[in-house]
Structure 1
Amino acid sequence: MATHLDLEEQEQLDRLKHFWNVYGTLITGLVIVVAVAVLGWNGWQYWQARQSAQAAALYDELDRAVQAGDPAKVERAFDDMKARFAGTVYAQQAGLLASKTLADKDKADASRAALAWVAEKGSDPGYRAVARLRLAAMLMATKSYDEALKQLDGSFPDEFKGLAFDRRGDVLLAQGKRNEAREDYKKAWAALADDAAYRRLVEIKLNAVGVDPRTLTAKATS
């Protein structure tokens, strides 16, 4: 004879069966989705760590080529870095280092190409800004003034705006556009922090184009 407890357990079991019949497929699907997501995330983390480690090793190889003064190896290592690890910070650092080394070895075209790659392909705004500023300086040195100004067009991170305006002033002054250069030097002075050492250099340039920086201070505090 069935007891009350047996009947209650049977009723609970029936309810569980009914619930599973209704929602079992959905629950199973959700469990699978979560499991796949976790595995995918762990796989992505592992892949990222592996990419970073390999990129660091290749950067070390490029650095050794720099120390050895071998521009051919520098170019090969940087080309390899671009091909395999373009999305890493190491690739952007490698581009800046390679550019400096190649410039020192009188390989100006390769140096500019390395900077152009960082300026266009870099994922970090700071590294892109540094590359654009250096590339503008190199182009100005070859009197490619319009190309230099193109590198300085557009937005820069706040910490680089003063340097970008200053570099624009240099290019415009080299073109003989004294009045336009003066305005960019003023913008550079305003964008740089009061205690920035580079601001002293901008003040010298302002004096050279007929502007007393003390008058800018007076306007700023009036």
Structure 2
Amino acid sequence: MATYDLEEQEQIAEVKAWWKQYGNLVTGVVTAAAIGVLGWQGWTYYQGSQAGKASAVYGVLQRAVVDKDSQRVKTASGELLEKFGGTAYAPLGALSAAKVMFDAGDAKTAKLQLLWVVDNGKDGLRDLARLRLAALLVDDKAYDEALKQLDGDVGPAFAVRFLGSRGDVFSAQGKKAEAKGAYLAALAKLDDGDKTGQGKNTLQATQVNAAYREILRLKLDALGESS
């Protein structure tokens, strides 16, 4: 057996004393760190698993969209929202389902799908859902609810459309002055985008903006208020 000199014995004694006082704390910290790492790995695996399953359901939904099978679309979308609402596939599926259900004459389900995206979606998808929901509410003559969807912050990609849609609501209400103001504001924002280079990254974007500008001018003409 090795023989320790006095200095080594004192060091060993100090280590034993320190470990006796703080050993449980160190063990607890190490254990907690290990649990944290395992927990993160488990969560990452769970998220990946959920995304994979959601992707499969989304694939079923898209095939049903192509087949125009509204019942299968409704079922697949319901599964996405109920089981995989936290994945990126859920709002995409709901938007697709909303269009199919509306085309099938089921405006009620279409609105519920859009409302889910409004409540749970993010950024551009949420703005798109607000825009589409407002249009359905105008069809129902629920003008105040439509304007609520068009109020508040909106991303730059949809700012012009939101102004144009506000004009549509006011026009449907017979409020010509308010409708004119909204349409002119939308045209002005389009012009600002042209001056700053926004919306001109692609030929398609330029063509879409040109077409929408013409639509706004036709709506102003319909009000008897040409720009």
Q: Could you tell me whether the CA contact under 8 Å between 2:164 and 2:216 is conserved in 1?
A: no
1:102 maps to what in 2? 101
The 5-angstrom pairing of residues 46-195 of structure 1 reads: 46-122=45-121, 124-192=122-190, 193-194=193-194
Q: Could you tell me whether the CA contact under 8 Å between 2:187 and 2:216 is conserved in 1?
A: no
- The whole-number CA distance in structure 2 between the counterparts of 1:211 and 1:112 is 34
- The whole-number CA distance in structure 2 between the counterparts of 1:89 and 1:188 is 31
Segment drifting more, 96-105 vs 135-144:
135-144
- The whole-number CA distance in structure 1 between the counterparts of 2:188 and 2:38 is 51
The 5-angstrom pairing of residues 30-49 of structure 1 reads: 30-49=29-48
TM-score by length of 2: 0.82
Amino acid at match of 2:146: A
Ranges in structure 1 where 5+ consecutive residues have no aligned partner: 213-222
- The whole-number CA distance in structure 2 between the counterparts of 1:205 and 1:67 is 32
C-alpha deviation, 1:176, in angstroms? 1.6
Q: Could you tell me whether the CA contact under 8 Å between 1:62 and 1:78 is conserved in 2?
A: yes
Deviation per residue, 1:8-64 (Å, 9 max, x gap): 221221121122122212111110111111111111111111111111111111112
Q: CA RMSD in A?
A: 2.2
Amino acid at match of 1:12: Q
- The whole-number CA distance in structure 2 between the counterparts of 1:78 and 1:179 is 41
C-alpha deviation, 1:170, in angstroms? 1.4
Q: Could you tell me whether the CA contact under 8 Å between 1:168 and 1:181 is conserved in 2?
A: yes
TM-score by length of 1: 0.84
Aligned residues with identical type, % of pairs: 43
Q: Could you tell me whether the CA contact under 8 Å between 2:61 and 2:93 is conserved in 1?
A: yes
Q: Could you tell me whether the CA contact under 8 Å between 1:132 and 1:152 is conserved in 2?
A: yes
- The whole-number CA distance in structure 1 between the counterparts of 2:19 and 2:156 is 58
C-alpha deviation, 1:204, in angstroms? 5.3
Q: Which one of the candidate residues 199, 202, 205 is aligned to 2:216? A: 205
Amino acid at match of 2:160: G
1:14 maps to what in 2? 13
- The whole-number CA distance in structure 1 between the counterparts of 2:178 and 2:41 is 55
- The whole-number CA distance in structure 2 between the counterparts of 1:74 and 1:204 is 32
Amino acid at match of 1:165: L
- Structure 2 CA distance for partners of 1:73 and 1:203, relative to 1, 3 Å: closer
Q: Could you tell me whether the CA contact under 8 Å between 1:85 and 1:91 is conserved in 2?
A: yes
Segment drifting more, 13-22 vs 93-102:
13-22
Amino acid at match of 2:216: K
C-alpha deviation, 1:144, in angstroms? 3.0
- The whole-number CA distance in structure 2 between the counterparts of 1:139 and 1:20 is 70
Ranges in structure 2 where 5+ consecutive residues have no aligned partner: 200-205
C-alpha deviation, 1:130, in angstroms? 0.5
Instruction: Specify the SS of the correspondent of 1:137.
Output: helix
Amino acid at match of 1:94: G
Segment drifting more, 134-143 vs 51-60:
134-143
Amino acid at match of 1:177: K
